[in-house]
Copies of this chain bind each other. A is one copy, B any other.
């Protein structure tokens, strides 16, 4: 089932989106329980999709694809194992909302990633139990100013600027429809009217798999419902400039598209 959050003429609401992506049916509660339909529905074209969740925290794993480690850090993954970082909730935006680049954030790159949305409060989860605490999957773009990232050392600013966390378009709760050991992840960049596929990888390139990521994080942090886990970016990240459009695509979820503007 696909849960979205939408802006309608009557206000914001969570909604169930049909598999064709044509209709949004409003629900009374949240995506964390079985949907209770209010009876209101809209063609998806008549509403605006928002970020499907406002997380209390966004926990991300860096350096989780060996090919991306090599391209960004110029070192092998053996010498630079995966590491945790946090993106602030204020960076989260929804589909079609603009990534806004301030003047001081130079060399801003996209990073298309699969994201997990936590479904229940949890701590010390074993890898094999990860699905029991995850409500669904969505797409995240871990936007990063490469220059700030290396100048600061810590990545919070480079990856935490307002609008640097596009999330969506919705939360797919049917985990069984995915083979998480073999899920394609792509990112298509449109620059000067020309669209190129820059990222064309697969979750089979992950160093830590989804269960290992949840075990690793929850050994330290309690996760709460709605918290978002960014599972790492594969190779192919590249610079975006104002005027561009970036679309991250994961089959079975859909695509997350963002225009790029000057802040």
| CB interface residues, A 137-195, toward B, < 8 Å | 152-157, 160-162
Given contacts A86-B160, A160-B86, A162-B123, contact A62 B219 (CB under 8 A): no
Q: 1/0 per residue A64-101: CB within 8 Å of B?
A: 00000000000000001001111111110000000000
B residues in contact with A156, CB < 8 Å: 59, 83-86
Q: 1/0 per residue A82-124: CB within 8 Å of B?
A: 0111111111000000000010110000000000000000010
B residues in contact with A86, CB < 8 Å: 85-88, 156, 160
Interface size range of chain A in the complex: 20 to 34
| CB interface residues, A 9-45, toward B, < 8 Å | none
B residues in contact with A224, CB < 8 Å: 90
B residues in contact with A88, CB < 8 Å: 57, 59, 86, 221
B residues in contact with A219, CB < 8 Å: 102, 104
Selected from B56, B157, B222, B223, the residue in CB contact (under 8 A) with A84 is: B157
Q: 1/0 per residue A215-236: CB within 8 Å of B?
A: 0000111111000000000000
B162 touching A83, Cβ below 8 Å: no
**In the complex, what distance in Å separates the CA atom of A156 from the CA atom of B88?**
12
Q: How many whole Å from A113's CB to the nearest CB in chain B?
A: 16
A152 touching B83, Cβ below 8 Å: yes
**In the complex, what distance in Å separates the CA atom of A59 from the CA atom of B105?**
19
Q: How many whole Å from A83's CB to the nearest CB in chain B?
A: 5
B89 touching A161, Cβ below 8 Å: no
Given contacts A154-B85, A154-B154, A162-B222, contact A57 B90 (CB under 8 A): yes
A-B contact pairs, 15 of them (CB 8 A): A56-B56, A57-B89, A62-B154, A84-B154, A85-B86, A88-B221, A91-B221, A102-B220, A104-B219, A160-B220, A160-B221, A161-B220, A161-B221, A162-B220, A162-B221
List A residues at the B interface (Cβ < 8 Å). 56-57, 59, 62, 80, 83-91, 102, 104-105, 123, 152-157, 160-162, 219-224
